[in-house]
Amino acid sequence: MQIVCYKDKLLKAINSVVRGVASKTTMPILEGILIQTNDNEIKLTTYDLEIGIEYVMDCEVREQGSTVVNAIMFSEIIRKLPDTEIYISVNDKNLLEIECEGSLYKLATMNPDEFPELPKIEVENSIEVEQNTLKNVIRKTIFAVSVEENRPIFTGCLFEIKDNKLNVVAVDGFRLALRSIFLNQQTNDFSAVIPGKTLNEVIKILSDSFEPVRIGVAKNQALFEMDNCKIVTRILDGEFLNYKNVIPENWETRIKVNKNNLQDSFERISLISSSTVEKEKKYPVKVNVDIGKIIISCTNQTGDAKEELFVSTEGKNLEVGFNPKYFLDSLKAIDDEEVYVEFGTSISPCLIKSTENKDYVYMILPIRLKED
């Protein structure tokens, strides 16, 4: 194998596939990048048996061939080389030679025949979405994915296509994030739960462009295809939460508030909430809704804090407690200037919604307050 390519193009390819390299494995081959030539292009592949990534790029191929090289070592060397042409070849001792100006590196290689094949997916249903749109939707739901492995289905996001609309839902037992977008093309209804780990890598590869990304689903695998890159991932098994049944339809108390003002108040209050010396203890933030205002407060051994905001209120007065992190995560994911915050009772879920559209809903469960 012998190829010549420019550093910037090669580094973009490496940065895309390196996210599929296994970090903890007893199979050294999974710590490598498979490099294969095909006419005047090369294909880089990584696969950790859960997520596989392929990237195809044009380059000058002087001799066809394939090899596997340690991904971390290869990527670090390429990253630190000058911004110019790089010559890569496999010598007669099966060492990968990397030449660039006055630099020469030789790396051990592995047998490409031992690299596991990516699953071949026969797509049954698919949709196309602009890359920047999908990136935005994932980023604004992924934070609510569960990190607890005892309920594996909640470690992923539900992708539900229904009535030509894509609903992406994440839930961890304490909160729920829902984002919806309308699709430009007619498509079948289908759904799949994509692992959060995969989606965290997908948003790093997606660009901020209007170029399309195709999401295809088969029986137990999903496929993301964009530009020169293809990502294959398993689909999580199990029954996802029937989220429509748990989102309250009615409220007893509602406020209309400037999103940034509410976020700033919660960020300041959380300084007290999270500063306790007893790290294992959780001190909720108390929210009191009164006519025309809300009072956000917290008290623990470190001290106490209180924030007062003048807001538009409807319904009953209310006192309720929350984990401030959950509130902040939701507020940070919202671009609107004003939002509705809807409450039921002091023990029922709270909803954060847009004042103008139905693109999103964030639901947060309260924390029971101790009696004074």
- pLDDT at residue 283 is higher than 90: no
Are the C-beta atoms of 104 and 81 separated by less than 8 Å? no
Mean predicted confidence (pLDDT) in 162-168: 96
Confidence of residue 371 (pLDDT cuts 50, 70, 90): low
The H-or-E segment that residue 264 falls in is helix 259-273
CATH of domain 2-114: 3.10.150.10
Q: What is the pLDDT of residues 111-158, one digit of tens each?
A: 999 999 999 999 999 999 999 999 999 999 999 999 988 899 999 999
Are the C-beta atoms of 134 and 212 separated by less than 8 Å? no
Q: Where are the beta strands (DSSP E) in 92-131?
A: 95-100, 103-110, 125-130
pLDDT of residue 327: 94
Give the neighbor-by-neighbor strand order of the sheet with 318-322: 303-310, 293-300, 285-290, 318-322
pLDDT of residue 21: 94
Fold agreement (2-114, 125-240): yes
- pLDDT at residue 277 is higher than 50: no
Residues contacting 298, CB < 8 A, separation 6+: 269, 270, 272, 273, 283, 284, 285, 286, 304, 305, 324
CA dist., res. 244 & res. 261, Å (int): 30
CA dist., res. 163 & res. 347, Å (int): 34
pLDDT of residue 7: 96
Domain map (residue ranges) of the chain: 2-114, 125-240, 247-364
- pLDDT at residue 219 is higher than 90: no
Rg of the chain taking only CA atoms, in angstroms: 25
- In sequence order, the β-bridge partners of residue 33 are 69
pLDDT of residue 372: 52
Residue with the larger pLDDT of the pair 9 and 149: 9
Residue 76 phi/psi, 5° resolution?
-70, -40
Mean predicted confidence (pLDDT) in 12-31: 93
- pLDDT at residue 321 is higher than 60: yes
Lookup result for tokens 């971390």 = 72
Mean pLDDT of the residues in the chain: 94
Listed range (212-216, 276-280, 302-306) with the worst mean pLDDT: 276-280
Record the pTM: 0.92
Token readout for 10 is 């090669």
247-364 folds as DNA Polymerase III; Chain A, domain 2 (3.10.150)
pLDDT of residue 281: 52
Confidence of residue 280 (pLDDT cuts 50, 70, 90): very low
Could you tell me which CATH class the domain 125-240 is placed in? alpha beta
Q: What is the pLDDT of residues 41-89, one digit of tens each?
A: 999 999 999 999 999 999 999 999 999 999 999 999 999 999 999 999 9
- In sequence order, the β-bridge partners of residue 248 are none
CA dist., res. 264 & res. 361, Å (int): 20
Strands 32-38 and 253-258: unpaired
